[in-house]
Structure 1
């Protein structure tokens, strides 16, 4: 499998297969939302779009980066999200990196969103599809975020079926700037457990597939052995 690792701004053409990686924290939060029962996640282009969707669908739950703001129900924190019951609900997510990265490759034939918490399921799905070439979108820090690059490189190795020690990759993520900022309170809307939760390898047994549904890009959990069917969580 030929793997490319690029930042969002470096996407000069739409790849055939894309894995969008945002470890801290959009993709980890998305996985937790599904674990808490969410049916689907709508990826919003902007905060205004997220609020407009929420206004049209009051039963939906909207989340964003940073502190909680009027019109939003949650913030982009796995530690805070894990106590919320989202059974059967649609979540609208808008973040500064993860959702932007997914929307940037919406024309790809297969779009996966990933973090360490769904790494093996993501790699297994890539193996199932027998992908010749995969573009990993490193969303943080203009493509330089080491937690995202480490996760992408780990998934790429696992997708080839190679036995790979995860400790090196998790160590890089733990020492990243994002981890430091989350741990020291530089970022807002943070729970003390966020970094640890983002580094829980293979916490969940599903991959996450984003597809266009009408005008929206929608993320759903997917069993790695059945690319078209949503997993039972």
Structure 2
């Protein structure tokens, strides 16, 4: 299985298979949303679109990066979401990097969104689909985010069938700039448990697949 690791600005052509990685925090939050019962997650192109979708669908749950804002129900924090009942709900998510990365590859044949909490399930799906070439989209810091690259490399090794320990990859992520900024309160809308929750490997047994539904990019739990 051939693996490429690219930042969003480096995506000059549409890959056949893309794994979009955002560890801190978009796709850790997405996994928690599904674990809390969400039916699907609409990946919004902008805050305005997220608010417009929420306005047309009052039962939807809108979340964003940073501090709470009018019209939004939640922020992009796994710890803050872990006690919310989302049973049967549609979530609208707009973040700085993760949702942008997924939308950048929306025309790919297969788009998976991933973080450490769904790493093995993501790798297993890639193996089951027999993917020959996979582009890992390292969303943070224009492709330089160490936590996203570490997670992408770990998933790539597992997808290729390598027996590899997660500890070293988690250590890299824990020492990343993003982890420091979350821990130090540089980023807003943060819970003290966010970093630890983002560094849990294989917390959830499902992969997450994104695909176009009409004009919307929609993320769902992969069917078994």
TM-score, reference length from structure 1: 0.96
Give the equivalent residue in structure 2 for 1:186: 186
For 1:96, the equivalent position in structure 2 comes to 96
d(CA) in 2 for partners of 1:129, 1:105: 18
Runs of 4+ in 1 over 3 A off after TM superposition: none
Give the structure 1 partner of residue 27 of structure 2: 27
String of CA shifts for 1:107-139, please: whole Å, max 9, x gaps.
000000000000000000000011110000000
The aligned runs of 1:3-18 (5 Å cut-off) are 3-18=3-18
Distance 2:216 2:130 in 1: 27
Q: In structure 2, how many angstroms separate the alpha carbons of the residues matched to 1:48 and 1:154?
A: 35
Q: 1:222: Cα distance to partner?
A: 1.3
Residues of 2 paired with 1:130 and 1:222: CA distance? 16
Q: SS of the residue aligned with 1:163?
A: coil
Q: Which residue is 1:123 aligned to?
A: 123
Aligned-partner Cα distance in 1 for 2:71–2:42: 16
Structure 2 unaligned residues grouped into runs of 5+: none
Q: Is the counterpart of residue 216 in structure 1 residue 220 in structure 2?
A: no
Give 1:124-163 correspondences, 5 Å limit.
124-163=124-163
- For the residues of structure 2 that align with 1:21 and 1:60, how far apart are their CA atoms? 24
Structure 2 residue aligned with 1:84? 84
Number of aligned residues: 224
Q: Secondary structure at the match of 2:24?
A: coil
Alignment partner, residue 54 of structure 1: 54
Who is 2:196 aligned against? 196
Query: Within 1, Cα distance between the matches of 2:130 and 2:138?
Result: 22
| In structure 2, distance between residues paired with 1:17 and 1:155 | 14
Which secondary structure state, in structure 2, belongs to the residue aligned with residue 206 of structure 1?
Answer: coil
